Every structure is written in structure tokens, then in C-alpha cells.
Amino acid sequence: MNSEESQLLSSTTRGTAMGDLFRRFWIPAFLSREVEAGGSPMRLRLLGEDLIAYRSPNGTVGLVREHCAHRGASLYFAKNEDCGLRCLYHGWKYDAEGNCLDMPNEPPASQFKEKVKQPAYPCFEKNGVVMAYLGPAEHKPALPDFEWLTVPPENVYISKRYQDCHWTQGLEGDIDSSHLGFLHGIEAMKKATEHDMMAGSANLVAQGTHPKLEVVHAENGILQGARREADDKNYYWRIGAWLMPCFTILPAFPADAALGGHAWVPVDDNKVWAFGISWHPKRALTQQELAWFHEGTPTGIHSTMIPGSFVAKRNKSNGYAEPDAPGKQPWQKITIFQDQDTAITESIGANFDRKDEFLGNTDIVIAHARRRLTEAAKKLQEGKEPPTDPKGFRKRGVSVILPRETKSWSEAVADQMDTRPETFLPGI
């Protein structure tokens, strides 16, 4: 990439090419548990915009611009009343659609409130997460058919984590299968057997340090397959997906483990909200699984948080280190998978110019994803809308053993990747 293309990827504020592209999709905005009915409004920053999230006493969730349309006072100090927020400065009240319901400092006969609109964004709440749409009303798409939005609530666990890096840096780690054996290492991967998450596949992944990576393009993203040696008759395939603009579907863990993925939602051009999503297509998550997800498993996608925050307990300030971990070198002290990923992606620096990279054969998935993103952003500037068909998001990750003579891995697993409960098969 040249510097101009790198900058196009980086900026997601309103009015930029990538910012406009993001604003054509539903994205996770915050967790349901962050706002309580009739409780305190919450400051939130998404795509470079300062917003206020809240839940009215009747349970309705709202997401509005932080600054009041009157004279810019912060609605963080607003009164959370029935049907909306009332600005503490002069009492102007807005509902979840941004309509001004009351102007107590204006004459009773005034109709001025009918001319005022507070910027507000549609929300949809399901399975513990609030999805929001920040784009033009006339282009609002149907909700995406992610499997984790369609299964029962007891089948899903969603966490939220703040990361001090650019949104693509975390996303690219999800679609980079070649780093597993190096960054995480075989010994750390074997710890997963304690949780029945990667039993049987840790050796295959760790020994396959240069997997053969292949890409199959879908309408709204790409499927990526990483091929490693299994035996003299078979290959071991780990297959996942990247879906526009910021969603990843990870290859399945072995046995009957929950599936996983991320939504990498920009806070601004330098920081990201990483929504970690675990779900099972056919059953409720067990109490043991929920405990692992909450505590941060050795090989999972969730981290242990500092209580009362969305900052990981092991972070830049403490070297991402596990207390009392053996070893003299910094990398030896980072023993949790997600902390290893976070440490590396944050170390890149949010403003790293991609023109200084040297991409190799195993970076093919990243190259294709970047190209699709930049092309979609440029086409939108020319008036061509991106693909937002809900059916395009019906993907799940798989891990399988396929005969070496298999001509098309994507066709071989197409039914298994389709998010119908009856097509789910445990990973290898």
C-alpha cells in the first residue's frame, strides 16, 4: 500500500471514505448491561463521534449526539425521564429518535420545537449487545443475520474490550493464521486441552508454521482457508471469514466448543472497541464456559477486565504480564492468548504507515481484505452502495480434515459454514 491508501484505511470519521463506508452498516455500539432503565446516561465514542447512550425508564435504548442541539451542553448531565433525555441547562427534552418533545424555556404557544432535531441513531438490542446504525436514514439496511444474533440469548456471551490500536490491526490478527505457532507457541496452545478447546489440533497448528492460505471472495467479504499437513492422505483446514466492514468469524475450536468472532469497532482513528463474541449454534453455554469467558481463558478471545472498566487487567502499563510468570524476557511473561494478541497489535502503533510493510505469501488474506475495503470505500464515494444483504452474514467458522484430492475446500464446507442449526458440526 502507499501512504494515501494507508490513510484511507485509517480514518473513519464522518465525511471520510472509510467513515462513510462504516456508516452503511449496523455495528455493535455497547453492551446491554452498560445502561440501566432510568439510570445514568453514558458517554460513548464511536467512529470519532461523541455520543450519549441511555435506557429510558420504560426500557427503550437511545443513542444521541452528546451535545444538545440548543447551545451544546453535554447530555451526560441530562435527566433520564420517561420517553427521553431532558437537558439540564434549559430543559429541552429529546426522544430516542431525536425529536424535541419539550422546550420549557420557550413561550407555551411556540412551535419552535417542531423545527429542532437532535442527531440520534437507530438501535437494535439482542443477546446482550446494542447494535447501532450511524448512516443516512435512506440507506439503512436490514439487520445482518449473524448467527450470534439469531440463536437464543443463553447460547451467547459477548464481551467488550478497549484496545489502544487502529481497528484494522486487531482485525488482521484474526485473519492471520500463520502467527499462531509463533506468537502463541505450542506449549501455550496445549494449555487449551485443559478447556477442551483445541485438543487434537494444537500440534497440527504449531508445527504448520507456514500454512498454505487461500481466499474465496464472497459478496460482502472473504472466506479464508489455512491448510496444514494432517497425514499422508489428508490436510487440516482452519476456515474463517472477514465480513464488511469490521467483523471476523474465527475457525471453529475442536470438539463441541463454542464458536467465536470479533467486531472491531473504531473508537476513533487510533483506538478500537473489540467486541468478543462466543456462541453455540445448538445449545446453551455451560456455567464452566461462561466462567472461562469472564475470567479470560488461556487460549480464548476474552480478557480479564479491571473491575468496573473495559480495560484488560494485563495491559501496556504492566507489560501485559501475568504476575509471577517465569522468564526474563518480556514475551515470556505474557501467557494468555488474547493478551499476546493485544500486546503485539498495540505495539505496531496506530499511525504506522503501511507503505513500510513487506507483505509475504502468508499475508494474502490481509492484502485481499484491505483491497476489498478500499475498493468499497472508493466506490461508495462514486455512488455505488456496498453489499448489505442480511443473508451475506450467515457464516460460521469451521475446522476440518479433508482428503488431499479435495478440489474446493469452500465447496466442501459450504453447508457446514451456513448458519442453520442442523448443519453445525464440531470442529477438529
Residue 130 pLDDT exceeds 70: yes
Mean pLDDT of 6-29: 96
pLDDT, residue 22, reads 98
Q: Which residues contact 375 (CB under 8 A, 6 or more apart)?
A: none
CA dihedral 164, 168, 169, 170 (to 10 degrees): 80
Q: What is the DSSP string of 162-194?
A: EESS-HHHHHHHHT-GGGIIIIIHHHHHHGGGG
What is the DSSP pairing of strand 26-31 with strand 129-133? antiparallel
Domain 147-423, architecture per CATH:
Alpha-Beta Complex (3.90)
Residue 198 pLDDT exceeds 60: no
Cell of 167: 481497528
Residue 419 pLDDT exceeds 80: yes
Q: Tell me the per-residue pLDDT of 39-79, one tens digit each, with 9 for 90 and over.
A: 999 999 999 999 999 999 999 999 999 999 999 999 999 99
pLDDT, residue 323, reads 84
Q: What is the DSSP string of 323-334?
A: TT---SSGGGG-
Residue type, 243: L
Q: Residue 34 in 3-state DSSP? A: helix
* Least-confidence region, from 43-57, 201-215, 401-415: 201-215
pLDDT, residue 295, reads 78
Higher pLDDT, 222 or 339: 222
Residue 193 pLDDT exceeds 90: no
Residue 201: CB atoms within 10 Å: 25
Inter-CA distances, 324 with 6, 321, 335, Å: 40, 8, 11
- Does domain 26-139 sit in CATH 3.10.20.30? no
CA 177/CA 47 separation, integer angstroms: 28
Q: Residue 113 in 3-state DSSP? A: helix
Q: What value does the mean pLDDT of the chain take? A: 92
* Least-confidence region, from 154-163, 221-230, 344-353: 344-353
Which element (helix H / strand E) includes 160? strand 156-163
pLDDT, residue 17, reads 98
pTM above 0.75, yes or no: yes
Residue 215 pLDDT exceeds 50: yes
* Least-confidence region, from 265-274, 330-339, 398-407: 330-339
Residue 200 pLDDT exceeds 70: no
Q: Tell me the per-residue pLDDT of 132-143, one tens digit each, with 9 for 90 and over.
A: 999 999 999 999
CA 165/CA 307 separation, integer angstroms: 22
Residue 80: CB atoms within 10 Å: 20
Residue 328 pLDDT exceeds 80: yes
- The residue ranges of every structural domain in the chain are 26-139, 147-423
